[in-house]
Chain A
């Protein structure tokens, strides 16, 4: 070591972004910075707006009796719903994935269908059929039926990947079947259960439409009412801050306990496929239970829609406004999907390829909207545009921006996993074969991540097409989307007139949902042999 001259000092690279090697990383950094800025914008202006009347006023707004009631309402709803969703989700997933249930493929589809129906449409379906339904229990039932697939989906996919060898090892070490489930299987699917529960809780905190329909006051409902009817921007923003804290706390809980006992497999040995449990005399109860669940969750809302469409066709069906609303919905959703995917791309690229403190921070920021209800983002954007960019207020740009921020995490999930699979070594090989950096990006990287980009686009499109709360606040004056028109008729109790709009929403999001599910269930095409 002493025989060689000490290396000349080489300028240390602070991450690769700033080294100026080619303009692609530079372009990527700019895109990521825009994404991070967009996410922070509504939050910053929420705080700015809330404290316009002084911190003392903010404190008065937050520490009052009605807020305590809202908090109690929200928490007891979240606890009950999340627990029920976890129970139903895990039980259904276990029945479908691990037992010899007849018609498993059919069940697998039927059980996730409720995801395609917006929560407020489920609420509409129930309440329009039995108008007496309202309050806590109604809210718990409707939200559980709408949200349990958020637990079912990750748990089912996790159960598919569980290593049967571990369960067999458990049995051979003297555990009975129930003990094996509790000590081995459950431990392996635990992260999926937790992740699903977190999504359920965050969804509950963000929901407005369904609770408005069953007349149950949560934070989100109160904020909406305060802003829309009371024109009290400061009060709404102050309450929003509490809501954001609640959501961030949920995220924190998941992070804190979710990291323990992550499922991992030792050794490169092949995974053993599972043996399905014969149901025996439990067959009838299992079929009955799953049938009831699917019937209540998807049968009742869809049946109700059909019922009101048939009833409503006798009254006038405004087909022209239905089509124009559908056009608006599709246009805004497509724009939002494009923007979200485009923003997710540089964030994911930097987070995967140029991992350093800064890019990790940007990535975390981009996931932050998961904990931001659409209402909060909309309020923040309103606060910003009203004071500093009035031409943007209630413009299509503002609505698309709100969607893009709100659904950026969805886009990021898809793009990031695709980016992770596109090995940088393939790009290096491309360059050694004579292609420039840009050409390699175009001919290698883009085709590799294209499926992920498409999935991101589809997910954001579906979510934006069925978004209600932010849309109600931000839509350009005089412009109706399917969701807002449906909402206008529903709050008028014109159920027959509302139903076609809901049906159209379900139909519009069914196409990308179908494509997405085909992609998810397709065997892995890309990967080592």
Chain B
């Protein structure tokens, strides 16, 4: 296994550049997700790493080997980088075994070298099938087995689960995750699904406007996003005005501990409070106000949990708060509630 390092990658189609200097570090054996909206250049990035296209500028290295720079272009077949495209792209004229053995030397195309990767992805019994006889999830697994059969130094996954329906997607996702972790394959996964990126990856890099705006562990990104757009992209969020003290933020929800070094130097600004940081309880008439008081304006019920839209009763800087409660604690619209925040919060 080798680490993959990418620096200053520039790629443009005509006038509008797609990638404007992408830097990305993928440590050996880790799974790094590149997260971005569709059309942000994710697929282009993968195609450059795979060697299907040449960048205008920048460097790609696998371990100590330079794959791409101003004077070098290693052909895709010499990179030892596996590629699993969005729909699997199985060769329709070859059986499952033929697909998996495609990249192997002729004498290894039968037997263990083909059987093993198929067993790894749990579809050894389908070896004789043709691709059109497989379900979407099975096709994805064959594509993965095919890429893994050559024991590549790194693996690229291009939205591998997006064509699967919801239940299947979760299952295949879990299995692939376990498989890649067990074998310690250096992997780059691109996706537009933040849930997928956060739950699967060791490290998440957010690609926006042709650049990586932030890269870090999933929790780091979720809790300390670089800006408010990123905060909203990763999940529902409340942005609340605050004035900063020493390690604390004073907000309409009370004084809350600050996470990290955010807010240092500034007297006032915004802090980010995730909906699950708010504790909501029905307020009985006459009871003393505990925290901020408000009314449930809408309740979006998802089963396992629910999101409450709460309008504060006191006029103030906060127009509306989103709070996440477990499904059994969903409250009817119009319920009067009191809201408490659990710190720490992050300055934006």
Contact = CB atoms under 8 A, between A and B. Distances in A.
B21 interface: yes
A433 B84 CA distance: 10
A435 B102 CA distance: 9
Given A425-B89, A444-B91, A526-B132, A431 B102 contact: no
A144 B33 CA distance: 65
A8 B8 CA distance: 13
Contacts of A431: 51-52, 75-77
Given A444-B91, A526-B132, 10 more contacts: A3-B21, A8-B57, A425-B89, A428-B47, A431-B75, A432-B77, A434-B78, A434-B80, A527-B92, A529-B135
B94 to A, nearest CB: 8
B29 interface: no
A6 to B, nearest CB: 10
A177 interface: no
Contacts of A426: 89, 91
Nearest to B105: A434
A364 B42 CA distance: 36
Most B CB atoms within 10 A — which of A7, A429, A526, A527? A429
Nearest to B94: A447
A529 B10 contact: no
Most B CB atoms within 10 A — which of A428, A433, A435, A529? A433
B56 A10 contact: yes
B187 interface: no
Contacts of A423: 89
Most A CB atoms within 10 A — which of B8, B12, B20, B76? B76
Main secondary structure, interface of B, reads: mixed
Contact of A425 (B85, B136, B147): B85
Interface in A416-455: 423, 425-426, 428-436, 443-444, 447-448
Given A423-B89, A426-B91, A434 B56 contact: no
Interface string B137-158: 0010000001100100000000
20 contacts: A1-B20, A4-B8, A7-B17, A7-B56, A8-B56, A423-B89, A430-B102, A431-B52, A432-B50, A433-B146, A434-B80, A434-B103, A435-B77, A435-B102, A436-B77, A448-B92, A525-B132, A526-B92, A526-B132, A529-B139
Contacts of B21: 3-4
A7 B57 contact: yes
Q: Which 7 A-B pairs have the closest CB atoms?
A: A433-B103, A432-B83, A431-B76, A526-B92, A4-B21, A447-B93, A7-B56
A434 B20 CA distance: 29
B83 A428 contact: yes
Contact of A526 (B77, B93, B147): B93
Nearest to B78: A434
B150 A434 contact: yes
Chain B residues touching A, range: 35 or more
Contacts of A443: 102
A270 to B, nearest CB: 15
Given A4-B10, A4-B21, A529-B139, A428 B52 contact: yes
A432 B57 CA distance: 22
Contacts of A447: 93
A1 B136 CA distance: 40
A528 interface: yes
B103 A435 contact: yes
Contacts of B103: 433-435
A450 to B, nearest CB: 8
B327 to A, nearest CB: 33
Interface in A512-529: 525-529
Most A CB atoms within 10 A — which of B82, B103, B139? B103
Given A428-B52, A433-B103, A529 B132 contact: yes
Interface in A1-40: 1, 3-4, 7-8, 10
Contacts of A425: 85, 89
A432 B76 contact: yes
A433 B102 CA distance: 7
Interface in A299-343: none
Contacts of B12: 7
Interface in B1-59: 8, 10, 12, 17, 20-21, 47, 50-52, 56-57
B87 interface: yes
Most A CB atoms within 10 A — which of B12, B81, B132? B132
B144 to A, nearest CB: 12
A430 B91 CA distance: 9
Interface in B88-118: 89, 91-93, 102-103
A10 B53 CA distance: 14
B332 interface: no
Contacts of B17: 7
Contacts of A448: 91-93
A440 to B, nearest CB: 8
A80 B15 CA distance: 54
A426 B89 CA distance: 6
A10 B147 CA distance: 33
Contacts of A8: 56-57
Contacts of B77: 431-436
A429 B83 contact: yes
B134 interface: yes
B42 to A, nearest CB: 16
Nearest to B134: A529
B87 to A, nearest CB: 7
Contact of A527 (B47, B132, B139): B132
Nearest to B57: A7
A115 B136 CA distance: 41
Contacts of B78: 434
Interface string A205-237: 000000000000000000000000000000000
Contacts of A444: 91
Nearest to B135: A529
A419 B82 CA distance: 25
B81 A432 contact: yes
A399 B155 CA distance: 55
A210 B93 CA distance: 44
A404 B254 CA distance: 86
A3 B23 CA distance: 14
B91 A428 contact: no
Contacts of B79: 432
B278 to A, nearest CB: 38
A526 B132 CA distance: 7
Contacts of B56: 7-8, 10
Contacts of A429: 83, 85, 89, 91
Nearest to A430: B102
A516 B77 CA distance: 37
A131 B8 CA distance: 84
A526 B131 CA distance: 9
Contacts of B93: 447-448, 526
Contacts of A434: 77-78, 80, 103, 150
